[in-house]
Chains A and B, each alone.
Chain A
């Protein structure tokens, strides 16, 4: 899977929007962009994924650059419960794709009350 680059940490205030960036300059045309988050002392939790178009769900929005070399996870109104490590993961769709996800170190999001 291609490599992603995320900031080590970010800080935001409660009830404000949060934009978490991810660079993936070597992304291939068949790579899906996945986001997971891991709350303290818990297993990772799926957030959202997309291929080319922007995506929205009840948890967040995913904005994908036109050239797909970067993407941004948007939390529209952060709460203290959103404090977690956020992982941006590229998933190659060629071949089987059954060999798991590659987790980097992610971005540690701190929410200030």
Chain B
């Protein structure tokens, strides 16, 4: 299994540009989520999905859109990039939607810089 994959690894955008961060998993996991990590900080949840066709907002959803048309893919869209969105973005998946006792598998991250 490839696990959780993310593309691109690095991206530089200009303010106002839009782009999509890709995330895919081959473990047939129901639950997928997106986090951002700012320098020296822990991760903060942006959006999550408990299954295909179902998404919900996390702690910091503003400026981001998601959709989940398949079990495998969970893309994150930046609508109009702002410098405050400069961060490292991590995608994660889990077998069950309840995170009480299911471990999350994280991707390698996408480093995004907005100028």
Contacts and interface: CB of A to CB of B under 8 A. Distances in A.
Q: Specify the main secondary structure of chain A where it touches its partner.
A: loop
Interface residues of A, number: 24
A99 B56 contact: yes
A5 B92 CA distance: 24
Contacts, number: 69
Contact of A45 (B33, B48, B100, B106): B106
Nearest to A85: B42
Q: Which residue, of B33, B42, B45, B109, has the highest number of chain A Cβ atoms within 10 A?
A: B42
Contacts of A44: 43, 90, 92, 104, 106
A32 B56 contact: no
B40 A105 contact: yes
A113 interface: no
Interface of A: 32, 36, 41-46, 49, 87, 91-93, 96-106
9 contacts: A41-B109, A46-B103, A49-B101, A98-B31, A98-B98, A99-B48, A100-B58, A105-B41, A106-B42
